[in-house]
Amino acid sequence: MRVSQLVGELGVSHVTIRRDLEALIHDGVLEKVRGGAMLRQSAAAEPAPPQPGPAPAQRTQRTLGVLIPAAYYFRHVVDGIRSVAGSTGGDVRLLLSNYDQAEEPALVRELVSSGCAGLLLAPSVGGDDPEALAYLDDVPVPAVLIERAAPGEELGRLSTVRSAHERGVASAMRHLRDLGHTRVALVSRGESQSAAFVRRGWADAVARHGMNPDVPNITGERLGTGPTWEPGGPASVLDELSAAGVTALLCHGDEDALVLLQHARGHGLSIPEDLSLVAYDDELAGLADPPLTAVAPHKEQVGMVAARLLLDLIAGHLGQTPVHIQIEPQLHVRRTTARPRNA
């Protein structure tokens, strides 16, 4: 049988077929040939006695199903999941939703039907609608939300592991307050639940530290949420910050912070003398010129803790009570924050 034939008949990927063929070749059941494998003569002549076939969940009892919306942020989370799965002799089946909320229920069903023993899910949840994840109520295997909280305020059945984004923002705002800043604006173009946590953390910190609330809070509603800025977008933001007398800015997302940093030079603004700038993410911040002060969520640790929690749920060690864990980010102070010029 050739690999191309199996792909067409079984509807699975070349990678899956080749992995399973290699295992059978290693066990001496098959003999490798160009483009596929064939049954060894000895195996063909002496068929093995019939054995009861395990159920899919038994065959893949160490396989963790993972659904993420995008690779940019979540690749480190997946690294943490793979590390834990590999250390226990398991593996990971990964699907990508590309933030297509309508497609996610079908992707979850695919993970379940493939025999995954448990699920680690980062669905595209943006609001507080408790029905947004109702399709997960009937999932027959343990599931943990990663970098998400169950929407709504009612008790749910899903455990969660996420970054404590609000506390990460609080650390950045405390750093700016200690430097003497009282007018700290926010740019957050994202629509994800994490973006909502960042905005909540900023608003709470402004109130808690007695900062001036009459500063720009610029979201994707005005600037757009796509991966690129609209023409003139960065310049309009910098104009608004200057007009409002802002001395510091928290920017959710390294890429947006880098764009504003680059445009600030041509706008006559000196960073950090005229405007202190803090990025939230720390994927690229340290490579900027000058290196950006940034809040860094511990994404790999989120993945590791979530995978360990899921394995405990699969093993029945935690019962049915949902567990909610938050991992604190870290503030990396670099060269884009300083005391206000007139402080």
Q: What is the CATH number of the domain that holds 117?
A: 3.40.50.2300
Same domain, 11 and 105: no
Q: Percent of the chain beyond pLDDT 70?
A: 78
Q: Domain total for the chain?
A: 3
Distance in angstroms (rounded) separating the CA atoms of residues 16 and 29: 18
Minimum mean pLDDT range among 1-10, 67-76, 205-214, 263-272: 1-10
* Residues 170-185: tens digit of each pLDDT: 999 999 999 999 999 9
Q: What pLDDT, on the 0 to 100 scale, is given for residue 31?
A: 54
Q: Is the pLDDT of residue 16 over 50?
A: no
**Do 92 and 150 fall into the same domain?**
yes
SS3 content of the chain, % helix, strand, coil (to 5): 40, 20, 40
pLDDT at 138: 87
Does a structural domain hold residue 337?
no
Residue 163 pLDDT class (50, 70, 90 cuts):
very high
Q: Judge if 285 and 305 occupy the same domain.
A: no
Q: Is residue 210 part of a domain?
A: yes
Per-residue pLDDT tens for 280-305?
999 999 999 999 999 999 999 999 99
For the segment 187-221, what is each residue's pLDDT rounded down to a tens digit? Answer: 998 888 899 999 999 999 999 999 999 999 998 77
What range does the domain containing 92 cover? 61-157+301-312
207 is a domain residue: yes
Quick check: is 326 in a domain? no
Average pLDDT over residues 269-280: 96
What distance in Å separates the CA atoms of residue 209 and residue 183, rounded to the nearest whole number? Answer: 11
**Residues 106 and 27 grouped into a single domain:** no
User: Do 260 and 335 meet the contact criterion of CB atoms below 8 Å apart?
Assistant: no
Range 60-95 burial, b when 16+ CB lie within 10 A, else e: bebbbbbbbbeeebbebbbebbbebbeeeebebbbb
Assess whether 153 and 186 both reside in one domain.
no
Same domain, 179 and 115: no
Residue 10 has pLDDT above 80, yes or no: no
Same domain, 169 and 255: yes
Are 22 and 79 in a shared domain?
A: no
Q: What is the pLDDT of residues 114-126, one digit of tens each?
A: 999 999 999 987 6
Residue 177 has a pLDDT of: 98
Mean local confidence (pLDDT), 69-80: 90
